[in-house]
Each structure stands twice: as C-alpha cells, then as structure tokens.
A and B are shown apart, each in its own frame.
Chain A
Amino acid sequence: MTLEKEVEEARRRNLADIIEHAAWEAEMVKKMGEEWFKIRDKWLEKALQSDLELLKKNSQIRKALIKAIEKKRSLKGK
C-alpha cells in the first residue's frame, strides 16, 4: 500500500469511528435520558472549571486566547 493510500485509509477509519461514536451518543441519550445529561453536564462543568483555573494562574494564556479568537474570526471571515 502506498503512503497516500495508508493515510487515506487511516482517515476513512477515523471518520467511521467518529460516525459510530456520534450514533452511539444519540443512543445513550435515548437510553439513559436524564442520567446521560447529568453525567455529561458534570463533565462539561469540570472541563470549564479547569480552564478557568488555568486562566487564573496565568494571565498570558487569557491574552493569547483572546488573540486566537480574533485570529479565528478573521480567518473564518465571520
């Protein structure tokens, strides 16, 4: 297999995984209902809190983040 085909195959497998995982998540929402949201929301909250902690510790990160958002906006033309 050529390198190009190997990369293409890896990309195909990765996309297949992403699709499978997204479909699985939808199934979990249906099966677990509120419990799924409880776990997911807790995880999102923890992730946010660690971000905020990091930003509190280092103000340079905050500045860099704002710059990155500005850059993203100009790249997206939004």
Chain B
Amino acid sequence: MWGKLSRKDSGVIRFNEGVIRLRKHSLSPEDSIALAFAKVLEEADIKYAVVAGYVAILFGRGRRSDDIDFITDIQSEDEFISVCRVAGNRGFNLMQGDLRNIESLRKAYRAYLAKGLSVRFIYRNIILPNIEFKAAKTTLDAYTIENRIPVYIGDMGLIYISPLELQIAYKLKLGSEKDIGDAVFLYELFKERIDRDQLAEWCLKLGADCSILEQPEEEKS
C-alpha cells in the first residue's frame, strides 16, 4: 500500500505524485473532527481545502488548536443548506444558526458566508476545537482549493489540505511565534519535497521573509 521507500520520505509520511500518505493508526481529537467534517463535504459534493494550524497538527506538531479551518468552494445558499443537512446527520451543530431551520440557515449564509465571514460547526458538543467554515472569496482561496493536496490518514480517511509552499509562506507572513513554529515544522518535515522556487515566489508575493527557514539553527532567530 505504501509503495517503495524513498530516501526523501520519512517512514511515516510518503509524498508521491502529489498525494501524501500518512501511516498512523491513532487519531487525535483534531483528526477525528476534521475527518468527520471532510466526510460531510464529500457527501455534499463540495470541494474544500483545510488550511492553517491543523495542517501542522495533522503531520505531528505537538500543539492544540481552537479551530480547524476549511475553505470551501460553496457558491449558494442552497449548497450551504445541503452541507448543513449532511452535517446535522453526522453529529454537527452550527453556532450561528439552527440546522433544522432552513430560514435560519439562509440568514446565516447571508450574514456570514456571503460577506466573506466564517461560520462555525461544533462536533458532538465539543466546543474546542470547532470547524471554521468559510466560502472561498479571494484569489488565494481559489488557488488553495484548485491546488489542494490529498492526504490519506492510514486507512481511516482522506482529507485535502492547502499546497505546502503556500501554507508555509502564509504562516511566515502571519508572523506570530506559533505561526513561525508551524512554518518551520512543515518546512523541516517536507523540505526534500517542497518546490523551493514556488515557496520563494509565494514569500515574495505575500511579502514574507522565508530566509528564516534556510538559516543554520543558531542563526534562525
């Protein structure tokens, strides 16, 4: 199932032909919630990509997250209602509306998603982490979904994530200590697989300083 071991891959993570396979048998709560919501979107036939902190957590970063960010290519109220219907059947609740009330969902769509704001889904009464759900509105959002990477988590499920080069550059641009830590973690983990030209290009476009990634340990600060 895992193919031939490549010098470029660690035993637990394989990255071949644009597909990542993560060999693990346990799930963190973040994984379980993210996978449950990914299944909602698959069933509702909505394209998405997971971005931000959860991408680092998925690959083993030792920290928690308050939210799991999903960017979706949802285009209409009806598509949102369809997502909500499936989400309700799969154990989710919506913080900004009532999943059983179509009018409430239409209101939530107009008040939040249509304006580029996010709504939050809560899984089985777990407030943190929750799902932060956003409709793609910007060029970056569209690029992220278009170039998403499939990640197979053992035989437990599939989740799509943002392209790593963009993710790292974006985290560096955000610039908090947590974000820089996530960027370094992803870079160190995937440095043999990352397209450095593309990373440099994203850093340039976003105005992020990616030199921190290539400096010797003692100089990285």
A contacts, CB < 8 Å to B: 12-16, 18-23, 25-31, 33-34, 36-38, 40-45, 47-48, 51-52, 55, 62, 65-66, 69-70, 72-73, 77-78
Give chain B nearest CB distance to A18 CB in angstroms: 5
- Is B197 in contact with chain A by the CB < 8 A criterion? no
The CA of A30 and the CA of B59, in the complex, are separated in Å by: 10
The CA of A33 and the CA of B21, in the complex, are separated in Å by: 13
- Is B196 in contact with chain A by the CB < 8 A criterion? no
Residue of A with least CB distance to B188? A26
Contact of A29 among B13, B29, B182 (CB under 8 A): B13
Within B19-53, the residues touching A (CB, 8 Å) are: 23-31
List A contacts of B60 (CB < 8 A): 25-26, 28-29, 36-37, 40
B contacts, CB < 8 Å to A: 10-13, 23-31, 59-62, 64, 66, 95, 117-118, 120, 126-128, 130, 132, 134, 177-178, 180-182, 184-186, 188-189, 212, 217, 220-221
Main secondary structure of the interface of A (DSSP, over half): helix
List A contacts of B61 (CB < 8 A): 22, 25
